């Protein structure tokens, strides 16, 4: 297979790419959550039709019955490692590549956020404490008290930004995306969400090369419409977050993505009302933020707005495409009267 070493992946982001300039208007994001190909039964994790492609190019309907046929990786103990490598080192450059007759110029930014199992999540938040008995001793039979692992619904987020809603269709309707990128997704992912969101940047990143993200997936509380929830999240909750001393100490970037539609039928993604994304310099900063006195007030405010099915987890950031430098805070529209 021919390789053009002059079109390396890093040419799509600063300092190699020429930025197009900053904007303070709300941008449009396809906040695409993904779950990785593996041999989990369908009863435990949903599966898109045609995904989990076999070595013969066919979608595997029951991957737990035919895991040895998966095109990406047929050894379950290597599946997670191989998937992370493939998404970043193979799928990312494919997405960024402008093949003859195609252009990704309307994609302003594309970040991959890979969920880190060892990072904080709502299932296992900090602080982490040693298992000790009343005398302060560790367990002598640790094999009997291994905590159960609770797996979040999604394994990552493809954070893809456009200037306008129509730019999504213009890009994705190209032959490259409609045929070859979708086919590549079916090799790597069990399920892909297709939601479209309006992006509000509350704290802009100075470099947009922050190492770690805290990803919060919000489903609204009972009794709230989506519009009510989104307005309260933006106009009531966000100012509390931004003004908090813990936020000022640890958070490098803070954005909200408000779902406004989808690019195609998306039964799982449409349940999500909004997503909050916080960027940090390190995993320890995330953990210190979550156990800080200031964060307790943020969590309490959030609990009044969010409902069952919400989850949060931490992820490693990879910048694949970035044409937006410097980043500016979004000009927030005034609140509207909602009954």
In a domain, 260, yes or no: yes
Bridge partners for 253 per DSSP: 279
In a domain, 333, yes or no: no
In a domain, 335, yes or no: no
Q: What are phi and psi for residue 165, nearest 5 degrees?
A: -60, -40
Q: How far apart are CA 214 and CA 312, in angstroms?
A: 7
Q: What is the 3-state secondary structure (H, E, C) of the chain?
A: CCCCHHHCHHHHCCCCCCCCCCCCCCEEEEEEEEEECCCCCCCCCCCCCCCCEECCCCECCCCCCCHHHECCCCCHHHHHHHHHHHHHHHHHHHHHCCCCCCCCCCCCEEEEEEECCCCCECCECCCCCCCCCCCCCCCCCHHHCCCCCCCCCCCEEEEEEECCHHHHHHHHCCHHHHHHHHHHHHHHEEEECCEEEEEEEEECCCCCCCCEEEEEEECECCCCCHHHHHHHHHHHHHHHHHHCHHHHHHCCEEEEEEEEEECCCCCCHHHCCEEEEEEECCHHHHHHHHCCHHHHHHHHHHHCCECCCCEEEEEEEEEEEECCCCCCCCCCCCCCCCC
Long-range contacts of 146-152 (CB under 8 A, 24+ apart): 149/117, 150/121, 150/123, 150/124, 151/123, 152/115, 152/121, 152/123, 152/311, 152/313
In a domain, 71, yes or no: yes
Residue listed under structure tokens 């979550």: 290
Q: Determine the Cα angle at 301 with ends 300 and 302, to 5°.
A: 90
In a domain, 189, yes or no: yes
In a domain, 302, yes or no: yes
Calculate the average pLDDT of the chain.
93
Can you give the residue range of the structural domain that contains 237?
25-123+152-322
Residue of higher predicted confidence among 258 and 13:
258
pLDDT in tens, 153-173: 999 999 999 999 999 999 999
In a domain, 157, yes or no: yes
Q: Is the pLDDT of residue 334 over 90?
A: no
Picking from 281, 290, 291, the residue whose alpha carbon sits closest to that of residue 312 is 290
pLDDT in tens, 230-242: 999 999 999 999 9
* Number of domains the chain contains: 1
Q: Residue 160: its pLDDT value, please?
A: 97
pLDDT in tens, 85-136: 999 999 999 999 999 999 999 999 999 999 999 999 999 999 999 999 999 9
Choose the weakest-confidence range: 162-176, 236-250, 325-339.
Answer: 325-339
Q: Sign of torsion, CA 149 153 158 159?
A: negative
Q: Is the pLDDT of residue 10 over 60?
A: yes
Here the CATH number for the domain that contains residue 31 is 3.30.70.100
Q: Is the pLDDT of residue 6 over 70?
A: no
Q: Residue 67: its pLDDT value, please?
A: 81
Q: Is the pLDDT of residue 288 over 70?
A: yes
In a domain, 135, yes or no: no
């Amino acid at each position: 297979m021919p390789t053009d070493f002059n079109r390396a992946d890093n040419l799509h982001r600063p300092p190699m790419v020429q930025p197009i300039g900053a904007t303070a208007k709300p941008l449009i994001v396809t906040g695409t959550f993904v779950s990785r190909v593996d041999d989990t039964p369908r009863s435990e994790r949903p599966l898109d039709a045609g995904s989990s492609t076999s070595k013969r190019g066919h979608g595997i309907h029951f991957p737990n019955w035919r895991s040895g046929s998966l095109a990406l990786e047929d050894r379950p103990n290597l599946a997670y490692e191989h998937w992370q490598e493939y998404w970043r080192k193979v799928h990312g450059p494919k997405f960024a590549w402008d093949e003859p007759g195609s252009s990704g110029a309307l994609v302003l930014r594309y970040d991959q956020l890979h969920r880190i199992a060892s990072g904080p999540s709502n299932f296992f938040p900090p602080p982490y404490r040693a298992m000790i008995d009343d005398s302060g001793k560790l367990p002598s039979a640790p094999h009997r008290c291994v905590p159960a692992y609770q797996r979040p619904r999604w394994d990552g987020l493809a954070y893809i930004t456009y200037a306008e809603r129509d730019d999504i269709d213009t890009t994705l309707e190209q032959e490259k995306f409609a045929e070859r990128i979708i086919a590549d997704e079916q090799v790597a992912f069990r399920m892909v969400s297709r939601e479209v969101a309006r992006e509000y940047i509350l704290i802009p990143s100075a470099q947009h090369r922050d190492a770690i993200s805290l990803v919060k997936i919000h489903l609204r509380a009972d009794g709230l419409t989506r519009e009510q929830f989104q307005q309260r999240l933006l106009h009531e909750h966000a100012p509390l977050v931004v003004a908090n001393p813990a936020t000022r100490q640890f958070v490098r970037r803070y954005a909200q993505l408000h779902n406004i539609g989808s690019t195609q039928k998306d039964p799982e993604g449409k349940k999500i009302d909004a997503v909050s994304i916080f960027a940090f310099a390190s995993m320890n900063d995330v953990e210190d933020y979550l156990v800080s006195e200031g964060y307790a007030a943020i969590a309490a405010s959030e609990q009044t707005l969010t409902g069952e099915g919400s989850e949060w987890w931490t992820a490693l950031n990879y910048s694949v495409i970035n044409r937006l430098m410097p980043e500016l805070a979004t000009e927030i529209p005034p609140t509207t009267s909602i009954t």
